[in-house]
Structure 1
Amino acid sequence: MSNRKLRTIASWFCGKGGTTETSTLVSYQDNQKQEKVEEIISETHDDKDIKVDLCFVLDCTGSMGGYINAAKDCIQQVVEHMERTNPNIKLWIGFCGYRDHCDGDNRLQIFDFTNSHEEFKDYISKKVIADGGGDAPEDVLGGLDAAVKKLNWCHSTRVLLHMGDYPPHGTDFWKLDDSYPNGDPNGLTAESVLNDIKSSGISYYFGKITDNTDEMIRIFQGILGKFLVFDLTSNGNDPEELVAKVFGSICSSITTTVTLNGSMEKSRQRKVLEKDSREPNWNTLPVKTGELMNYRFPRSLVDILDPNYFRIKSNIISRKFSYKHAPKPFASGAEQYAYFGLDVTHDSSKKIVIKERIIKANSFGKCLEAAEASTIASFLSREFNSAIEQVGIDKKVNFLQVQVLRRTAGFSTRYFTVEPKFLDAKFKRFNANSGVIKEYHSTLEAFAHFTYEYTKGYLVVYDLQGIELVDQFLLTDPAIQCTDRYRFGGTNLGKRGIDDNFLVNHKCDSVCQKLGLNIKS
């Protein structure tokens, strides 16, 4: 394919995207988002090669010619894209084509895994023809079953990308004309085939071409759980558009699987440190030095909505910092250890909490993420406090300011977050990122609603935890759900997190009403 066409494809894909709303874990809309994917992968796999078995399962009946050609035409782009962006990902490519039971020996076509994309292209070009099929449903289950059992899956990262425009046989999937209304004539069931996929450690993805497969998707997700569904519809059979969409779905499938596998690997990597809940004798501990950094406070909503605001070096303020650090953590969570600390930079010392990530990879980026969320929550709480003061509500919402500590000793550099130590009051988790309300307070629920309205639906500050005082809630470590999935780390579930975890559960109360927020009964 010419360079001009490749540029056209890249331009089209960046402009329109290639996945449905539920599948945008990975996007190629700009370099920042691609760098985020690379960062996630590099966190867990370092410099090791990640060997990926990628299997295409394609309906090869008459209507699928364009998609067969697209898979063939874009595979070299996929290989080159991975070599350029994630060179430690090495691809082995396999193929399973299916038609229908009436097609006899041509019902299934198998091409075992190879690391030669030229061999793959040659096979697809010369051996795979869009032909056959009888009624509307096809031998989907036979194709998936053959892909699992007849291909030599030999690497731990396994991706199966299924593309088809019609469902399997059986009235569960298709209510119209069907030669096999009772289901697969060979006795295969969706449950048996998909459970084999699951037990084989294969990640399943589907490229949706028509609405005819909607019921199939629903049934498959009921068995496998949620999986990514890519929008492969093509207007006017534009081959370049088709190649771009298939390219996007392949890249997303690979990087998503590698990322998910990496997350599981991270959980296995976590070490356990001995904890001590007692504050140490500070007189026995040495003074350490480092650099303390925080974000310049945003001036307006425009800064909040602009992710680049938090990437500009001039918006990071740094200063020298002297401190003492307890040798053992007093607490731990899923991702961090918390240590007692003492700020001795000035004449009067201040008690602080120092937090260090359990997984050290990219700890600087993760610490900056925490500081960004804290800064945004602080800005929005200031706006909220101003609003409630005008309607006669006295109890404020405030957040501890998170700063990032860089400590270099010899050739080793470590990163921490630092925040003031809470007063001696009972620490509570008022609500959770999942939308569950642990302890109801109308002011806190109204604050979350306020963040949604103030940012015009862009984000919600939630997972509110901290202490309750007479005149304020003093909070720390908030989570932010945001429509931009590439901000605020792994706890950000995107628009789905806003809709399903917050809006569905939120009930407006008196504080929402006094603030004139959009009432949600």
Structure 2
Amino acid sequence: PYIYTRLIIMGKGAGRGGGARREEWPKDVKGSAFSVLSLDSDPKPPHSSSRAPPSAPRPAASSGSSSTSATSCGSDIKRLQFKQGKERQELITKYLDRSNKVCLLFLFDATSSMGPKIEFVKEQFQSMFDAVKETYGQVLIKAGVVAYRDFDQGENHTDVLDFTGNPAKLRDFLSSVKAVGGGDVAEDVFTGLEKAATLSWMKSCTNLICHVADAPCHGSAFHDLSARCDDRMSGDPKNRDIKKLLSTLFHTCRVTKYFFSHLNNSTVKMVKEFRKAAPEADWLKDDHVQNNQVLKEFICNSIISTVTVSLSTSGCARSDAKRPVSKNYPIDPKEPDWSSLSVLYGTNCEHEMLVLSALHGALADHRPLPIGKDFRMQLKIAPRPFSNEGVSRYPFYATWLDAPSGRDKSGQLVKQERKMVLKEFKYDQGYVAWVGKIDFTDVSAYLLQGEVQTVASVLAREFNQDIRCLRCPSAKEIRFPKVWVVSVRHPSGVKYYNMEQLLQAPGGATLDFVRFTNNNGAIGKEGLAHPYSDSVLAFSHYTYEKSNRCLMVTDLQGCWCQSPAGKKQFTLSDPMIHSDKYLLRSPGNFGKKGAAAFFKTHKCNDVCRALGLNPASNYVAPSDGGQGPGPSGASSSRLSSVISDKSC
């Protein structure tokens, strides 16, 4: 029998009738550790770390004696485990429910030239929303409209529809909007932005603006038009500041993304100035729309990408706190002139690759995966990231000047330069309700990222071994590159990064990076169209069954390329893991809710069948007390409805 001892540590000044009491419970027979802090008020959110499980909920005050029997202590631990899991799932469910609710504002220039575009949106908005639901089946969209004109139409020259989920109401309103006026070329865009801030934005939802216009705002600072085209060249007659207008939309209205559709080149300078004034560099996205079909795709992709951001690591970490602002690095897609950069010094380490049984043991005991020795290194880092497409981290070109490259005949270590990518989190701080406060500048955030990818890499190795004996042409191998955690001494202080080898196509060709899935069941159209996507989609299904329904690797993106050994394979990176047992400090870990969302959209393919995986239609959404979706013998149609009823 297992005998447990409850240790009560009385804080300073504690005694009968007061003080803080800390109750610490040893690991139970399954290796789950809990540390309970009992205070008169709620504790502060726990600090983010990949090396400890999240704090258990505070227990109710005890009126009896502190019994140390195995029976009572064991039942208390089980109760705490259940309560922790239940509360965590409730918080995740609430967050997913909010993220899948979308408030979309159509912000239109409604002067004479815009009539055909408004009519097109009126006729096509329902098919746009249906296209979004093909990717995110759980999305619920409310739409609003702000149609602005110019001062020649009088003081009240806007039409406004607050957010509605009634398609008929939206269609009738768009039919009532008259495209009139616009004596000069420039229009009163500022009033449109001002009116947009008055709508009933839901701060806990995914909010976005789709701005469609063919003319800039007033003021020579926003366009290169002649004075004949703008009768207010000095700027807005009400002296409104674009920085304040955009800040209100970002901070007060909690607009997640602002998308601008250029119908011609007259708005390019205006959007450039808007981006300078925006609270975040990547908050405002723009594109040139050549025709109506491209406009439709632009609006659909805007909604899908915004929901994807909300469900990402950074999106989760920004949801429940005062909205943090990203670091706003300027982007430079070109490799730097390495000869002009100084050498930096630091250290690196990596997680060890384990056999499957050892991996299970480490995760079950909530132990961090073993890490190898720290090695000194010399490197050069590009001063600016080369992309802003990642939702959570900035990527930087880097050169590892003394990378190990085997040994020579005499046994001496050979070193050479190697091109790498360093990844830095876009935000310094975050807060997630089911995790707590997260410090993205701390090494623990980067260790956790490396740990997640190492787990995915171990399971990919198992997947590759299992498909090699299959007679299935569509079964292709999958690889996750090695991830180092790097500490670099900059003149301003020490900074941490994750480091991976730079992927390069032979002969200087361009690699085609594809997002196959996200962490809430969505399957990307590009990923679905890939000729070998069956392997990637089957891999998530495989990880769930290989781990005995304890975890699932999702959020898969990467490219089909040639490995260093010359073998064609998928190289994927930055995955997420769903589990109610392991890696609970990961913000994008939605546990059984994430697994249920995957099975709601997943359709088993030839690779799934060749591996003998349970059909996706046999998986049902779990109850609150269950460990996750599990096989069932019920009919697939009935099971689909069960998943739909239980999903967020």
TM-score normalised by the chain length of structure 1: 0.50
- SS of residue paired to 1:331: coil
What is the match of residue 580 of structure 2? 483
What is the match of residue 497 of structure 1? 594
Deviation at 1:502, TM superposition (A): 1.2
What is the match of residue 34 of structure 2? 30
- SS of residue paired to 1:451: helix
Structure 1 contact 466–473 (Cα < 8 Å) conserved: yes
Q: How many angstroms apart in 1 are the aligned matches of 2:202 and 2:536? A: 45
Please list, as runs of the form range in 1=range in 2, the aligned pairs for 1:72-91 lying within 5 A after superposition.
Answer: none
- SS of residue paired to 1:469: strand
Structure 2 contact 488–494 (Cα < 8 Å) conserved: yes
* Residue 331 (structure 1) aligned to one of 368, 387, 402: 387
What is the match of residue 344 of structure 1? 401
Query: Which stretch of structure 1 is more off in the superposition, 396-405 or 481-490?
Result: 481-490
Structure 2 contact 346–488 (Cα < 8 Å) conserved: yes
- SS of residue paired to 2:373: strand
Deviation at 1:321, TM superposition (A): 1.5
Q: RMSD of the alignment, in Å?
A: 4.2
Structure 1 contact 397–473 (Cα < 8 Å) conserved: yes
- Asked if 1:406 is matched to 2:414, the reply is no
Deviation at 1:286, TM superposition (A): 1.4
What is the match of residue 269 of structure 1? 325
What is the match of residue 611 of structure 2? 515
Please list, as runs of the form range in 1=range in 2, the aligned pairs for 1:144-223 lying within 5 A after superposition.
Answer: none
Q: 1:460 to 1:338 in 2, by over 3 A?
A: same
Q: How many angstroms apart in 2 are the aligned matches of 1:516 and 1:201? A: 45
Deviation at 1:421, TM superposition (A): 0.8
What is the match of residue 458 of structure 1? 550
AA matched with 2:587:
G
Deviation at 1:410, TM superposition (A): 6.6
Q: 1:519 to 1:261 in 2, by over 3 A?
A: closer
- SS of residue paired to 1:379: helix
Q: How many angstroms apart in 1 are the aligned matches of 2:546 and 2:595? A: 14
> What is the CA deviation profile of residues 268-297 of structure 1, one whole-angstrom value per residue up to 9, with x for unaligned ones?
332311110111111111111111110111
Q: How many angstroms apart in 1 are the aligned matches of 2:552 and 2:369? A: 26
Structure 2 contact 366–582 (Cα < 8 Å) conserved: no
Q: 1:11 to 1:271 in 2, by over 3 A?
A: closer
- Asked if 1:292 is matched to 2:334, the reply is no
Please list, as runs of the form range in 1=range in 2, the aligned pairs for 1:214-233 lying within 5 A after superposition.
Answer: none
Structure 1 contact 266–359 (Cα < 8 Å) conserved: no
* Residue 317 (structure 1) aligned to one of 373, 380, 387: 373
Gaps of 5+ in 1: 16-27, 42-69, 75-197, 203-258
AA matched with 1:39:
H
- SS of residue paired to 2:395: strand
Higher helix share: 1
Q: 1:412 to 1:463 in 2, by over 3 A?
A: same
Q: How many angstroms apart in 1 are the aligned matches of 2:518 and 2:350? A: 26
Deviation at 1:318, TM superposition (A): 2.1
Q: How many angstroms apart in 1 are the aligned matches of 2:500 and 2:427? A: 20
Identity rate, percent = 27
What is the match of residue 421 of structure 1? 502
Q: How many angstroms apart in 1 are the aligned matches of 2:61 and 2:203? A: 23
Please list, as runs of the form range in 1=range in 2, the aligned pairs for 1:100-139 lying within 5 A after superposition.
Answer: none
Deviation at 1:301, TM superposition (A): 3.3
Q: How many angstroms apart in 2 are the aligned matches of 1:261 and 1:489? A: 10
Q: How many angstroms apart in 2 are the aligned matches of 1:475 and 1:32? A: 39
- SS of residue paired to 2:416: coil
Deviation at 1:31, TM superposition (A): 2.9
Deviation at 1:306, TM superposition (A): 2.8
- SS of residue paired to 1:345: strand
Q: 1:402 to 1:3 in 2, by over 3 A?
A: farther
- SS of residue paired to 1:395: coil
What is the match of residue 570 of structure 2? 473
* Residue 423 (structure 2) aligned to one of 351, 355, 359: 355
Structure 1 contact 301–455 (Cα < 8 Å) conserved: no
- SS of residue paired to 1:475: strand
Q: How many angstroms apart in 2 are the aligned matches of 1:354 and 1:400? A: 13
Structure 2 contact 378–400 (Cα < 8 Å) conserved: yes
Structure 2 contact 603–616 (Cα < 8 Å) conserved: yes
Q: How many angstroms apart in 1 are the aligned matches of 2:36 and 2:598? A: 27
Deviation at 1:398, TM superposition (A): 0.6
Deviation at 1:489, TM superposition (A): 1.1
> What is the CA deviation profile of residues 191-230 of structure 1, one whole-angstrom value per residue up to 9, with x for unaligned ones?
xxxxxxx99999xxxxxxxxxxxxxxxxxxxxxxxxxxxx
What is the match of residue 538 of structure 2? 446
Q: How many angstroms apart in 2 are the aligned matches of 1:302 and 1:287? A: 39
Structure 1 contact 352–420 (Cα < 8 Å) conserved: yes
* Residue 432 (structure 1) aligned to one of 481, 505, 518: 518
AA matched with 2:556:
L
What is the match of residue 78 of structure 1? none
Deviation at 1:316, TM superposition (A): 3.5
AA matched with 1:491:
G
- Asked if 1:385 is matched to 2:464, the reply is yes
Q: 1:309 to 1:417 in 2, by over 3 A?
A: farther
AA matched with 1:494:
G
Q: 1:201 to 1:462 in 2, by over 3 A?
A: closer
Q: How many angstroms apart in 2 are the aligned matches of 1:428 and 1:33? A: 45
What is the match of residue 368 of structure 1? 447
Deviation at 1:265, TM superposition (A): 4.0
Structure 2 contact 21–37 (Cα < 8 Å) conserved: no
Q: 1:432 to 1:199 in 2, by over 3 A?
A: closer
Structure 2 contact 515–557 (Cα < 8 Å) conserved: yes
Kindly tell me the number of residue pairs found equivalent between the two proteins: 300
Q: 1:293 to 1:309 in 2, by over 3 A?
A: farther
Deviation at 1:451, TM superposition (A): 0.4
> What is the CA deviation profile of residues 43-70 of structure 1, one whole-angstrom value per residue up to 9, with x for unaligned ones?
xxxxxxxxxxxxxxxxxxxxxxxxxxx8
Deviation at 1:348, TM superposition (A): 2.7
Deviation at 1:357, TM superposition (A): 1.3
Q: How many angstroms apart in 2 are the aligned matches of 1:426 and 1:468? A: 7
